[in-house]
Amino acid sequence: MDTVFIEQLEVEALIGIYDWERNIRQPLWFDIEMAFDNRVPAATDAITDTLDYKAVSKRVAGYVEASGFGLVETLAERVAALILDEFPVRRVQLKLSKPGAVRGARAVGVKIVRERAVAA
């Protein structure tokens, strides 16, 4: 299976469990890899046959900007589910990084892999 990716999508969000975090917006970085068969768009050279990474980016950014979760784990799960529900991908690997959250570390976060449920 082919992969369509979005690397280091930066989105400002209300995220965190501490009181001070509930009053500011913080940058988050998303690295997203989506399993998608690129043979059809490669054969047709038509944008309508592709996985539109701009549309995915805009949808993720809009969702994240409107969210207000305490944990990056929760946000990662919701974003992965959104991508699987709204876009024609079989699998999504998502890395969510919270830069500057731990002194001495460039970023901390989570990496998850989720797959579309197989219909019975």
Strand stretches in the chain, DSSP E: 3-13, 26-35, 91-99, 107-115
Distance, in Å, from the CA atom of 40 to the CA atom of 45, rounded to the nearest integer, reads 8
Distance, in Å, from the CA atom of 65 to the CA atom of 38, rounded to the nearest integer, reads 30
**Under a CB-based contact definition with an 8 Å cutoff, are residues 26 and 13 in contact?**
yes
- Residue 95 appears among annotated catalytic residues: no
Degrees (nearest 5) of the Cα angle 107, 65, 87? Answer: 95
Selected catalytic residue, list 54, 58, 95, 98: 98
Active-site positions? 98
